[in-house]
Chains A and B, each alone.
Chain A
Amino acid sequence: MRAILRGIFVYLAMTTISAAVVLPAQEGSLATDPAQRPPSAPIINTGALNQIEGLVVSRIRMISDAPNAAQDKYHLDEERLLQHLTQKPGAKADPAKLRNDLRQLFASGKFTEISLDSLRSGEQVELTYHTLPQYFVGVIYMSGSPPHTSAARLIDSTKLQLGEPVTQTKLDFALQRIKRTLAENGWRQASVATQLQPNSDTQQEQISYQITRGRQARIGRVQFTGEAGQPESELLEISKLKTGDTVGGTTLTRAETRLRKKLQKDNRLEAQVTLTSQQYNPATNTVDYAFTVERGPKVDVSIAGAKLRKSKLKKFIPIYEENAVDTDLLNEGRRNLRDYFQTQGYFNVKVQYQQKLTPGRDDIVYTVDRGERHKIARVEITGNKYFDTQDLRERMAVQPADVLLRRGVFSQANLAHDVTAIENLYKANGFANVKVTSDIVDNYQGKEGDIDVVLHVDEGAQVRIAKLDLEGVAPGSANEVRNLLSDAEPGQPYSPADIASDRDTVLNYYYNHGFPKARFRSTSTPASGAPNRVDLTIRIEEGAQVFVDRTLLYGLRHTRRKTVDRTIQFADGEPLDQSAVLDTQRRLYDLGLFNEVDTAVQDPDGEMLYKNVLLHMQEARRYTFTYGLGFEAQTGLNNSNRCTKTVKNNCNPNGNFGFSPRVEFDVSRINLRGTDQSVTFKGNYGRLQKRALLTYTDPNTFNHPSLTFSASIFYDDTQDVLTFAARRLEGQLAVRQQWTKATSFQYRFAYRRVSVNSLNITPDQVPLFSLPVNVGMPGFTLVRDTRDDPLDSKKGTYNTADIALSSTAFGSHCTGSLISGQNEDLPNQCPDPSFSRLFFQNSTYFAFGKTNRQWVLARSISIGSESPFGYLGGLVPLAERFYAGGANSHRGFAINQAGPRDSTTGYPVGGAALFINSVELRTPPIGLPLVGNNLSAVLFNDLGNTYDTTGHMFSSLLRFSQPDKLACKTNQNAPCNFNYDSAAIGAGLRYRTPIGPVRVDLGYNLNAPLYHGFFPQTDANGIVTDVFGTRHTGRINVFFSIGQTF
């Protein structure tokens, strides 16, 4: 009886509720679009459907009642829709089928209204569906947006999604939100007009908003109430709300934040600042504000029994972050303090707190009883058979003490985490009844303070799959789907985690084959007669396959359609592939032509089997100008005065420090001729460096996405080494080919003129190097990069091979002559600047140790060789030679200081061959206060040098001390030999940042070379003069840089 009454009650309750809630809703959400709806809906003859039951349906058709319906397109949809109706022409009319068809047609999402009529002729009936089309959100334009309230932000505020159905309700909400956003930014006089432009062909509706903004409102009266503890005038000053100031988007939030911060600074952690009212006065265009400010009690947090910095206390006690004091937060603070002291080795720490509330005060005292300090001597795992101990240890946060962790890592939270992590690992592999317990043994092996943490694993029985049933998969794709299931096979462990992973894989497969509504369900039941075995059933509900109807592009003003078409990874008529749509979006962004690319499927929730894919692009500005003014500074600067045998003026082969003002100007033009081609100019001008680079880039050369052609002209007047300053004018044509994801090639031809000036060496020593030359040099570079992270690699390899050839055949020639009077014995002619250049680099990275605390062994070897040939033996110009030394090279030398040197001045002159071998051991993060896990260290060894010739390089590879060192040291006229391997050891620190590790390295050169040169000496009168002598290069070198060395 009660149930019956309740049944009736529901009926009646529904009636009552409808009356209660429908009326207000009718005004808002039940609004209809007068432009699209008839003035009133007709009543249909009662039982009309039943009256045609049994009559033969002669014809079924569909008619759009919309004005200007695009009939061609419409007929295509009509055909597709009519094919899927359950009531077929020629069959007897069935009211149930007709009702079902009406629902199906509406569910297609193509129509806002549908009605069905009939025309009877004898025992036959003709059925006609009358429709009005549904339109979908297209491009949204916003004009007249006021300052500081961008059009993009206002469009975003509408919450209208590209491709979703346009309804009057959504339009109303969108308009409200625009007005609210404008009002929040002070534009309370603004009016917004909406204009809709439907396109009957695509069923997309362009929505345009025109804002007439009026004048920005100003702040009127500001009132404060409540117990603020400060006079209103002071509150007004703190809030910086001044009557007459304009109202901006952040005016209120800033005022509230300022007031709250001011009170919190005074330890009023529970201070409440609330805007109680804001009243707009249209007559004066001002807004009056009323705030309630309650300062609350003064909260004082202290700690007894241990010392802790105030900043740490604020970090651990969340009341400071939450601006509230309650039991939960105070307890969380207690746990944080406990965990902190446990990580410091006080594993038995006890933390309590007391809260004392007095009028106007809230005193909280945390009492810490640290107990004995401990060390985690051992972490032991017992009972594990399925997983070895190393696998389990890698998942643990509790760590025994080692070189880097003096006391190990332990806290109750960490231990609980480890127990859960190990249990989850077992459960994921079919051990549903696994139990992990922990024991903590103090004074381990009789050593006071040492702790042994033991985890006991009771694995229980492993559940395996007895039988797998795959249901609901179309026969054509059954094998493919079965192959996607990783370990869900009979005999394999039953792992819910693997099944969850398979679920994602299988659903992705379906989503990428046009089944957006695919569902995956799995059930497992105990297998009959087989303990610890389950029968697994995987049921796929594929849903309907959806195909691409048309691809509609919006927002192209300057970009050619062809440029965009090239990136589209799906085709009309093919199954709708979600990953292809995302890939297209990525490729469109990669073009660099668009600020924003939105992709959407028209009417994603509709049941149409053919759907339009929408791509809306917002073109970026085609011209970008960048300019700047600043200073440039450089150490190791080339001396401005020549330091030769005759001129000796503060030579200092280690270089000087210099600075200069610097002007920079860059301009780039993208979207060249509507394509992704671009031209950029970069230039900077200063006393130390003058540089200009003009580059034309054509990605997708010859319509091939893996080819990128570039042409550049480069002018550089700078110094690379201390020895000289070079002026370089270079033109280069290059094609880069991305062969695979890891492998790329570059084919190039460079033609440059290099002249050396400000030479610090004696030209008679190296007469040929310093001549101005034109070098024509085709080259080829192979790069293979499989590193996981180029900025901070942990695994993978990096290999490069670069081959280039300079020859008179490519236009290389001397453009100057020997400086007259330098050497009368040499004829006044110039050898060919013909030489070959080979350079190889091989770097590998190997990570080892626990997953969460990995060490990395990194090594790199670089070998370079230049061989001159041609007229008069050929020539490798000074600026083309190999230099070594510095933060990214041999860290036993200052920048470019390795290798042969001028015998008179001691300046480095570079070599014709290079060999550098570096080995680094990179530590896992070192947990330290303040820096957390961001700091790590390296130990390194760099070995190698630059050599006179390639032959000398090979003959010196096993020579680890400077040849003829004694002669060099004792006889200033004897030339010093630099053909040997110089070795350096050192250590460095790395601080992790988003742009790569910031590093400092200290290298110590174990066998620094001796060399002759002029060195500044200060006499007793403080006068500096250069004196010829013999010295070592600096043994200790310090480098600051960003990124790993290699």
Chain B
Amino acid sequence: MKIFRYLCLSLLLLALAPLAHADYLDRVVAAVNGAPILWSDVEQEVRIQALIEGTPPGEITLQKRNEALNRMIDAMLLSQQLREAHARVDEADEQQRMAKVTQELRRQRHAAASDAAWQKLLREYGLDQAALNEHLRQQVDVLEFVDLRFRAGAQATPHQINEYYNSVFIPAMKKRGAPVPSLASVEPKIQAVLLERNIDEAMGQWLKAIRSQANIWRAPPFDRMTTGRL
């Protein structure tokens, strides 16, 4: 009788076994010079991006997640360079800039009126203020570092300004049918644009160089919405 009871219990457990499946919670999806990036990091990144872009959370695609991971790998490389350079960011300035970005974001997303509305919006995206702050802090630090690293060497030469004025600015104004201002009146603005472009180019090349020297591993592109073992 006892044996029969054990047998029944075993059969019952066997029958219930398929129902007790394991849920995957998180995993390492990339590593940059040994520093891991988790799936949950990617998920957070892609949601913050959606929040900034105004994309509804339900429309976050696999493509977006793959792009976010690539972007995070670059950001991680920059952060590591920042740490190696022992670059220090003024904390007060950092806080001020983060607050301004948050304020602008709230204004753009029509959630500036009340904190409650803003918190509700964050919850819709599965985020909280701390996660957003951390994200923005990293952005500000990297921006500061890039500024320090490249601005001094990224000069817009008179020749470049002239060339931009003649080959880009004038055709654009003519196309819009607007009167063409003199070079002297728009020179500071063109210089600023060119400066940013030169910084972009220098940073792009530099990033390419450090990426080629870095030890990067990433999981194959996300292409299915399933759970499973490694």
State A129–B26 Cα separation when bound (angstroms): 10
23 contacts between A and B (CB under 8 A): A10-B142, A10-B143, A10-B146, A11-B49, A13-B200, A16-B200, A17-B74, A17-B207, A18-B73, A21-B211, A29-B216, A42-B228, A43-B62, A43-B222, A43-B224, A44-B25, A44-B227, A48-B25, A102-B36, A109-B34, A115-B24, A115-B27, A115-B229
Q: Which 6 A-B pairs have the closest CB atoms?
A: A115-B27, A41-B219, A106-B36, A117-B22, A4-B104, A7-B101
CB of B167 closer than 8 Å to a CB of A:
no
Q: What B residues does A169 contact at CB under 8 A? A: 215-217
Pick the residue among B20, B24, B73, B218 that contacts A42 (CB under 8 A): B24
Kindly list chain A residues whose C-beta atoms are within 8 Å of the C-beta of B71: 14-15, 18
Query: Are A42 and B224 neighbours in the complex by a CB distance under 8 Å?
Result: yes
CB distance A115 to B217 under 8 Å? no
Which A residues are CB-close (under 8 A) to B139?
7, 10-11
Q: Would you give the shortest CB distance from B71 to chain A, in whole angstroms?
A: 4
**Binding-face segment, B37-45, B114-122, B155-163:** B37-45
With A21-B208, A37-B219, A99-B26 in contact, is A119–B20 under 8 Å at CB? yes
Known: A9-B143, A49-B25. 20 other contacts (CB 8 A): A3-B96, A8-B101, A10-B146, A13-B203, A17-B204, A29-B212, A30-B216, A30-B218, A40-B223, A41-B221, A42-B222, A44-B27, A45-B24, A65-B229, A65-B230, A103-B36, A113-B27, A115-B230, A117-B23, A121-B20
Q: How far is the CA of A167 from the CA of B70 in the complex (A)?
A: 19
CA distance A482 to B105 in the complex (A): 54
Q: Are B140 and A7 in contact (CB under 8 A)?
A: yes
Q: Which residue of the partner chain B has the closest CB to A111?
A: B28
B23 touches A120 (CB 8 A): yes
A934 at the interface (CB under 8 A from B): no
Bound together, the chains give a CA A43 to CA B220 distance in angstroms of 11
Min C-beta distance of A675 to chain B, whole Å = 42
Find A17's partner among B22, B24, B34, B200 (CB 8 Å cutoff). Answer: B200
Contact B217 A107 (CB under 8 A): no
A98-B24 Cα distance, complex, nearest whole Å: 13
- Smallest Cβ distance from A601 to chain B, in angstroms? 15
Bound Cα distance A17, B75 (Å): 10
User: What's the Cα separation between A983 and B45 when bound, in Å?
Assistant: 93
Most buried by B among A3, A14, A44, A118: A44
B188-230 residues with Cβ-Cβ distance < 8 A to A are 196, 200, 203-204, 207-208, 211-212, 214-230
Per the bound structure, the CA–CA distance linking A6 and B100 in Å amounts to 11
Determine how close the nearest CB of chain A comes to the CB of B87; give it in whole angstroms: 15
Contacts of A41 in B (CB 8 A): 27, 29, 219-222
Most buried by B among A25, A103, A132: A25
Q: Which of the residues B25, B73, B142 comes within 8 Å of A52, measured between beta carbons?
A: B25
Whether A102 contacts B38 in the complex (CB less than 8 A), given A17-B74, A22-B74, comes out as yes
A44 pairs with B212, CB closer than 8 A: no
Task: Known contacts A16-B200, A113-B28; decide if A37 and B40 are in contact (CB<8 Å).
Answer: no
**Among A24, A38, A98, contact of B26 (Cβ-Cβ < 8 Å):** A98
The answer for the CA separation of A3 and B90 in the assembled complex, in Å, is 15
Residues on B with C-beta less than 8 A from A45 are 23-24, 227
- Name the residue in B23, B34, B225 with the highest tally of chain A Cβ atoms < 10 Å from its Cβ: B23
B154 in the interface, Cβ–Cβ < 8 Å? no
Q: Which residues of B contact A107 (CB under 8 A)?
A: 34-36
Q: Interface code A588-621, partner B: CB below 8 Å = 1, 0 otherwise?
A: 0000000000000000011000000000000000
B196 and A9 within 8 A (CB) = yes
From A6, A46, A103, B126 is in contact (CB under 8 Å) with: A46
Please tell me if the beta carbons of A170 and B215 are within 8 angstroms of each other in the complex. yes
| B25, A42: Cβ atoms closer than 8 Å | no
Contact residues in A for B126 (Cβ distance below 8 Å): 46-47, 50
CB-based contact B25/A37 at 8 Å: no
Is B143 a contact of A7 with CB atoms below 8 Å?
yes
B residues in contact (CB < 8 Å) with A: 20-29, 31, 34-36, 38-40, 43, 49, 52, 62, 65, 67, 70-71, 73-75, 96-97, 100-101, 103-104, 126, 136, 139-140, 142-143, 146, 196, 200, 203-204, 207-208, 211-212, 214-230
B34 near A128: Cβ-Cβ < 8 Å: no
**Contact in complex: B26, A14 (CB < 8 Å):** no
Given A7-B143, A13-B200, A118-B23, are A167 and B215 also a contact pair (CB < 8 Å)?
yes
- Does A20 sit at the interface, judged by CB under 8 A? yes
Tell me the minimal C-beta distance from B144 to chain A in angstroms.
10
A116 is an interface residue with CB less than 8 A from chain B = yes
Question: Is A250 in the interface zone, CB < 8 Å from B?
Answer: no
Are B22 and A118 in touch, CB under 8 angstroms? yes
Which residues of the other chain, A, contact B214 by a CB distance below 8 angstroms?
29
Residue of chain B at shortest CB distance from A41: B219
Is A4 within 8 A of B227, CB to CB? Answer: no
Given known A-B contacts A4-B104, A32-B217, A115 and B28 have beta carbons under 8 A apart:
yes
Q: Are B219 and A116 in contact (CB under 8 A)?
A: no
Distance in Å: Cβ of A171 to nearest Cβ of chain B: 12
Min CB–CB distance B7 → chain A (angstroms): 23
Complex Cα distance, B74 from A26, in Å, reads 12
A3 touches B34 (CB 8 A): no
Q: Compute how far the CA of A112 lies from the CA of B29 in the bound complex, rounded to whole angstroms.
A: 10
Distance A121 CA – B196 CA, assembled complex (angstroms) = 56
Interface contact B28-A18, CB-CB below 8 Å: no
Q: Judge if A39 is at the interface, Cβ distance under 8 Å.
A: yes
In the assembly, what is the distance between CA of A24 and CA of B40, in Å? 26
In the complex, chain B residues whose CB is within 8 Å of the CB of A37? 219-220
- Chain A: minimal CB distance from B196 (Å): 7
Q: Is A371 an interface residue (CB 8 A)?
A: no
Does A114 sit at the interface, judged by CB under 8 A? yes
What separation, in Å, do the CA atoms of A662 and B226 have in the docked complex? 84
On whether A113 and B230 interact (CB within 8 A), knowing A21-B208, A40-B220, A48-B23, the answer reads: yes
